[in-house]
A = this chain, B = another copy of it.
Amino acid sequence: MNPHEESRCENCIIRELNALRSLKKEELKAISDSKVSRTIKKGESIFKEGEKLNGVFCVRDGVSKLSKLSENGKDQIVKIASKGEVMGQRSLIAEEAANLSAVALNDMQLCFIPKENFTESLSKNPEFIQALLKNMAHELKMADDVIVNMAQKTVNQRVAGILLYLDTHFGTDADGYLSLVLSRNDIADVVGTATELCIRTLTKFKKEGLIETEGKRIKISDREGLDQLWEGV
């Protein structure tokens, strides 16, 4: 594989996956020429809430958490972004500072698309806007659903929910363990609870035969059981 080819947006897998797919080839080329491809290591920050972004980030590889610090000092993870997703678009569109912080959950490859390229396409390419609009509409629905779940489901249910989410979105490795490995603390931050309670809940699930664990790795052994728990049967 040719690394030079690989690093160009025209051939980037992202083109196929995200809102940018509506960009015409020439536009992608223009963006590609100006873009900066970055490697981000696990745990490193991509941007912080309150920061002015001067571009958007396309996830080429790896996974990132998007979180917001609550007034009580706890981080709440609002979204997990992976290959093909764009981060920072909301802030650029709204012309506001970032509302969320982005941190790499594992080693990542990112494309950086400068603000100018982004806003130019925004004003000149109707298909791009349409795709963006649809993307935002989808994100909004997701967010509304999360609100309902946060407000109405118990910690038990929400922990079951994140496990199911990780399974369906990132799959499992050869041994059947969830491919995306989160720390107990990160799981707690997604669920919106204390780390201790999160750990206890996982321990309980283990005793009930819903999951198995090995270190921080988790294997779902009874998906149906977790489903039922999630749905509140």
Contacts and interface: CB of A to CB of B under 8 A. Distances in A.
Interface of A: 68, 70-72, 74, 76, 78, 90, 93-96, 99-100, 122-123, 126, 129-130, 132-134, 136-141, 143-153, 191-192, 231-232
Contacts of A100: 144
A136 B130 contact: no
Contact of A136 (B70, B71, B140): B140
B150 A94 contact: no
Given A90-B140, A129-B129, A143-B147, 12 more contacts: A72-B153, A76-B148, A76-B152, A78-B144, A93-B133, A94-B141, A100-B144, A129-B130, A146-B147, A150-B151, A150-B192, A152-B192
A8 to B, nearest CB: 27
Contacts of A149: 70
A58 to B, nearest CB: 18
Nearest to A66: B144
B151 A76 contact: yes
A81 to B, nearest CB: 13
B144 A68 contact: yes
Given A123-B126, A129-B126, A232-B72, A93 B134 contact: yes
Contact of A94 (B70, B74, B94, B138): B138
B133 A232 contact: no
Nearest to A232: B71
Contact of A141 (B90, B132, B137, B231): B90
A137 to B, nearest CB: 4
Contacts of A191: 151
A211 to B, nearest CB: 21
The list of the 6 closest CB pairs from A to B, nearest first, reads: A151-B192, A70-B152, A143-B143, A94-B137, A150-B150, A93-B137
A144 to B, nearest CB: 5
A21 B147 CA distance: 29
A145 B132 CA distance: 21
Contacts of A136: 133, 136-137, 140
A78 B137 contact: no
19 contacts: A68-B145, A68-B148, A70-B152, A70-B153, A71-B152, A71-B153, A71-B231, A76-B148, A76-B151, A93-B134, A96-B141, A123-B130, A126-B129, A129-B133, A140-B140, A143-B144, A147-B147, A150-B150, A150-B192
